[in-house]
Amino acid sequence: MRITKVNVSSKAIKLKSPLIISLGKIEYAMSAVVKIETDEGIVGVGEGAPGILITGETLDGTVQCIKEIGKVILGCNPLDFEKIYFLMNSVAAHAPSAKTAIDIAIHDIIGKVSNQSIAQLFGGYRESIETDMTLSIDDADIMAKKAKQHIEAGFNTLKVKVGVDEKLDVERIKKIRESVGSATKIRLDANQAWYPKQAIQMIERLGEYDIELVEQPVKSHNLEGLKFVRDHSRIPIMADESCFTAKDALRLVRMEAVDFVNIKLMKCGGLYEAAKISSICEIAGIECMIGCMAEETNIGVTAAAHLASGLKNITRCDLDATFGLTEVVLPGGVPLEETKDIKVSHEIGLGIGG
């Protein structure tokens, strides 16, 4: 079997409401949809969803990079994934969302050839996963109202964005906790907003409201600062932007800098690299969360859900991006309707049509 064609198209989909984080505002899902065709008639589907605030990529740049990668993998056997990954890296030094698009499509083909879902390819550990719901930075009363609505809709865990204003953050978390009661898990995500000592102070103040974990409290490059926060925090610390690749995960493990790692396909370059991150963390006794970019559609989120279903060490999920979409490019996969329980399809491959 050989790759005969790599097609890519792009679409920007306006979100139902903007997501505001400490780094800025996100208003659109950005999807570069890939279809890889083979000489045996098997077609694989993938998506690159660049998040400029996190990876620095744009939709146009991602499309162009996919086209360049497409040129060098023509004629390759899609089952020779180690070779394909080497070729992708020879074309672009970084460009994780472009590589993710190819990676998902290749895994879709592998699943179809082997008559397995992607979840089964990675181990098939669980039938379904439970996602949290993310709260965008807003007025405290509005956030508290939305939090209560999510809990009443069946969600058990909230991921709350913080990091714009210290005083308002305390007010927001206080009101959210009051609105949802003591049974709800609350995760905080600062998106690199704080300096290390500031982070420790804020974590201590916000810890009054029973916080499960704090995600990326300091700048992504400041691993020493991240370790400093972890060493002085009574609440577990999770890395997100500090961990793009398996090499980053190894560095964090060696430094004992975090308690958890958030894996995102669009950040690491796809399922292949994501599985490596999980393995490194598992060996070190560090559990992982699978996350997604707000810019992703059902294609990327579904691939992430398959990985989380396959791997035991992915114990937490933040896969709510599809709930903010007004439409999708291709049908199938994780639904647009809000639900805490996500069950991946038993169809072979990714399970997304088109």
Residues tagged active-site: 161, 264
3-state secondary structure of 80: coil
Of 96, 23, 15, 22, give the one whose Cα is nearest residue 53: 23
Of 270, 323, 7, give the one whose Cα is nearest residue 154: 323
Contact 82, 270 (CB under 8 A): no
3-state secondary structure of 290: strand
Of 178, 205, 194, give the one whose Cα is nearest residue 229: 194
Helical pair 59-73 and 81-91, crossing angle rounded to 10 deg: 130
Sheet holding 24-38: strands in order across? 3-21, 24-38, 43-48
Instruction: For residue 240, say whether it is annotated as part of any ligand binding site.
Output: yes
Instruction: For residue 215, say whether it is annotated as part of any ligand binding site.
Output: yes
Instruction: Collect all residues with Cβ–Cβ distance below 8 Å to 34 and sequence separation of at least 6.
Output: 6, 7, 8, 44, 45, 46, 47, 48, 66, 101, 102, 104, 105
Instruction: For residue 259, say whether it is annotated as part of any ligand binding site.
Output: no
Per the rule left: phi > 0, alpha: psi between -120 and 50, beta: everything else, 16 is alpha
